[in-house]
């Protein structure tokens, strides 16, 4: 299965969470709207001045006018203005009902006590914002599936919405697996021969941290069939989806895919993808499970390209395809036709074009290929080695982790 096919299969299977909860607007960043939201009032709710100046009746600006009052933002002028009258007004203030023109204060030729005279000019616009100029009461501001970001949150606040209906965040359990692994924090001198630090659990949790999901750290699975079985069965009861890394190849100590098959169903295993080939996906009871490969680079690439979009779907939002930008290779790139490959690269913008180079030996164990990387370089399965100057697609990491 190619990446695209696997993604389509994941999106088709993972139905969005349907439970809805209420959330205070100020705590809603990153949450997914469960219902469309409409404006509770028009904006501006009253005719408002767009500038500092004088509110007059149209056509009166070439006469000497009596200033009969002031209208400030939050302190409206109460009353009408008549011919020969005007009101001092400021940006955001209510425009008196029978005024239909603001003359800018820059056009004042003379101000003597309560009388004002303007420069001879013809105003190019009224400088009055009509009711609903920004937003009309009842109009839709956002749709189901939209993610609350600072801009949308501001719009909702301005439109009188202070409580939003959002989808429950799916609970995602994160495991690592392997008897060789020790927790970060164990002193280097205390690592026994053959042991390494467990980096995947931390990275996967971090890759989910910006998503509308609730991450549960479920610890590490030992390389024992019974232990894996027990932990996945228990995890499935409390999670909407689980993610494991490691133990998914065909080694003697690889129990993940056989356990998924034993406890539930294995929807697919092995992808035509580099790195990330041994990825497994399935379901245990009502819980989805992603068995990611253990090599740290494979874990990250599959988490970025498959798990995150799949979880976005589960969380009730729409995962747009990642941003792809054309960039010119600054160095040759080795690639065996067969599997689409995602190499780690560093891109820069030069003279209006993007240039990219890979980060060295692309072994899937080498987390150092991410040092200074800011993109994945996509190399289609159909092509072979590439030369300097060839064009490739790059996927910026800022977009893949947003
Ligand atoms: P496995 O598929 O379990 O054989 O793992 C493949 C490789 O990834 C082995 O070299 C493991 O030691 C390594 N690996 C697996 N899980 C982790 C992890 N959580 N952190 C760092 N390396 C890991
Ligand atoms: Mg292992």
Q: For the chain, what percent of residues have pLDDT higher than 70?
A: 100
Atom of ligand 1 nearest to the CA of 246: 3
Say yes or no: CB of residue 249 within 6 Å of ligand 1: yes
Say if residue 252's pLDDT is above 90.
Answer: no
- Point out the ligand 1 atom lying closest to the alpha carbon of residue 249: 2
At 101, the pLDDT band (50, 70, 90 cuts) reads: very high
Evaluate: CB of 200 within 6 angstroms of ligand 1.
Answer: yes
Task: Evaluate: CB of 203 within 6 angstroms of ligand 1.
Answer: no
pLDDT at 83 over 90: no
Q: Tell me which ligand sits closest to the C-alpha of residue 219.
A: 1
Question: Is there a contact between 294 and 250 (Cβ–Cβ < 8 Å)?
Answer: no
Assess whether the C-beta atom of 180 lies below 6 angstroms from ligand 1.
yes
What pLDDT score does 263 carry? 98
Determine whether the shortest distance from the Cβ of 251 to ligand 1 is under 6 A: yes
Can you tell me which atom of ligand 1 is nearest the CA of 245?
A: 16
pLDDT tens digits, one per residue of 205-251: 999 999 999 999 999 999 999 999 999 999 999 999 999 999 999 88
The size of the chain, in residues, is: 402
Distance CA 254, CA 317 (A): 34
Which residues, 6 or more positions from 99, have their beta carbon under 8 angstroms from its beta carbon? 55, 56, 57, 81, 86, 87, 128
400 lines ligand 1 (CB under 6 A): no
* Ligand 1 mean position, distance from CA 298 (Å): 10
From the CA of 254, give the closest atom in ligand 1.
Answer: 3
| Residue 274 phi, psi dihedral angles, 5° rounding | -135, 120
pLDDT at 140: 98
Kindly give the number of the ligand 1 atom that is closest to the alpha carbon of 293: 2
How does DSSP classify residue 159?
Answer: T
Q: Fill in the DSSP letter of residue 256.
A: H
From residue 157, give the alpha-carbon distance in Å to each of 40, 94, 134, 293, 366: 10, 20, 14, 44, 46
Virtual torsion, Cα 258, 261, 262, 263, nearest 10 deg: 120
pLDDT at 28 over 90: yes
How far apart are the C-alpha atoms of 179 and 169, rounded to whole Å? 32
pLDDT of residue 367: 98
Within 8 A by CB and 6+ apart from 154, the residues are none
Q: Which residue's CA is the closest to the ligand 1 atom numbered 17?
A: 294
Q: What is the mean pLDDT of residues 183-211?
A: 98
pLDDT at 24: 98
> Ligand 1: distance of its center to the CA of 171 in Å?
24
Q: From the CA of 256, how far away is ligand 2's center (Å)?
A: 10
Band of pLDDT at residue 297, cut at 50, 70 and 90: very high
Protein residue with least CA distance to atom 14, ligand 1: 294
The ligand whose atoms approach the alpha carbon of 298 most closely is: 1
Please choose from 193, 202, 225, 295 the residue to mutate so as to test ligand 1's pocket, defined by most ligand atoms within 8 A of CB: 295
Please say whether the beta carbons of 338 and 379 come within 8 A.
no
pLDDT at 159 over 90: yes
Whether 247 is in the pocket of ligand 1, judged by its Cβ within 6 Å, is: yes
Distance 196 CA to ligand 1 centre (A): 9
Nearest residue by C-alpha to atom 5 in ligand 1: 294
Atom in ligand 1 nearest the alpha carbon of residue 247: 3
Q: Is residue 253 over pLDDT 90?
A: no
Tens digit of each residue's pLDDT (9 = 90 or more) over 328-356: 999 999 999 999 999 999 999 999 999 99
- Please check the confidence at residue 319 and state whether its pLDDT lies above 90: no
Q: Which atom of ligand 1 is nearest to the CA of 298?
A: 8
Q: Please state, in angstroms and rounded to a whole number, the distance separating the CA atoms of residues 402 and 209.
A: 10
pLDDT mean over 287-311: 98
Indicate whether 387 pLDDT > 90: yes
For the Cβ of 245 lying below 6 angstroms from any atom of ligand 1, the answer is: yes
Pair 288, 281: CB distance under 8 Å: yes
Rounded to a whole number, what is the distance in angstroms from the first to the last CA of the chain? Answer: 26
Q: What is the per-residue pLDDT for 318?
A: 85
User: Is residue 72 scored above 90 in pLDDT?
Assistant: yes
């Amino acid at each position: 299965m190619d990446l695209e096919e696997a993604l389509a299969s994941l999106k088709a299977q993972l139905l969005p969470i349907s439970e809805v909860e209420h959330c205070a607007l100020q705590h809603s960043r990153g949450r997914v709207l469960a219902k469309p939201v409409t404006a509770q009032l028009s904006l501006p709710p009253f005719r408002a001045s767009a500038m500092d100046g004088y509110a007059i009746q149209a056509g009166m600006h070439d006469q000497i006018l009596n200033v009969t009052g002031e209208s400030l933002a939050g302190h409206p002028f109460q009353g009408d203005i008549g011919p020969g009258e005007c009101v001092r007004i400021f940006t955001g203030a209510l425009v008196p009902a029978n005024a239909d023109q603001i003359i800018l204060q820059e056009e004042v030729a003379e101000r003597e006590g309560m009388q004002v005279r303007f420069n001879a000019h013809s105003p190019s616009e009224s400088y009055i914002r009509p009711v609903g100029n920004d937003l009309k009461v009842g109009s839709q501001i956002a749709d189901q599936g939209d993610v609350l970001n600072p801009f949308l949150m501001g719009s909702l606040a301005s439109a009188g919405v202070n409580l939003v209906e959002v989808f429950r965040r799916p609970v995602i359990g994160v495991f690592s697996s392997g008897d060789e692994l020790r927790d970060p924090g164990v002193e280097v001198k205390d690592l026994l021969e053959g042991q390494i630090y467990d980096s995947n659990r931390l990275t996967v949790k971090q890759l989910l941290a910006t998503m509308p999901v609730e991450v549960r750290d479920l610890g590490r699975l030992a390389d024992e069939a019974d232990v894996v079985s027990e932990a996945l069965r228990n995890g499935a009861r409390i999670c909407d989806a689980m993610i494991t890394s490691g133990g998914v190849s065909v080694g003697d100590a690889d129990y993940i895919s056989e356990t998924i098959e034993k406890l539930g169903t294995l929807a697919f295993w092995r992808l035509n993808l580099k790195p990330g080939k041994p990825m497994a996906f399935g379901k245990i009871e009502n819980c989805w499970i992603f068995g990611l490969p253990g090599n740290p680079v494979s874990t990250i690439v599959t988490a970025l390209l498959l798990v995150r979009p799949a979880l976005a779907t589960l969380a009730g939002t729409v995962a747009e395809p990642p941003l792809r930008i054309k960039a010119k290779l600054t160095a040759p790139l080795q690639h065996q036709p067969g599997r689409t490959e995602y190499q780690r690269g560093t891109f820069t913008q030069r003279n209006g074009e993007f240039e990219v180079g890979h980060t060295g030996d692309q072994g899937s164990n080498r987390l150092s290929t991410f040092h200074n990387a800011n993109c994945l370089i996509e190399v289609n399965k159909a092509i072979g080695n590439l030369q300097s100057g060839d064009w490739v697609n790059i996927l910026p990491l800022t977009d893949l982790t947003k």
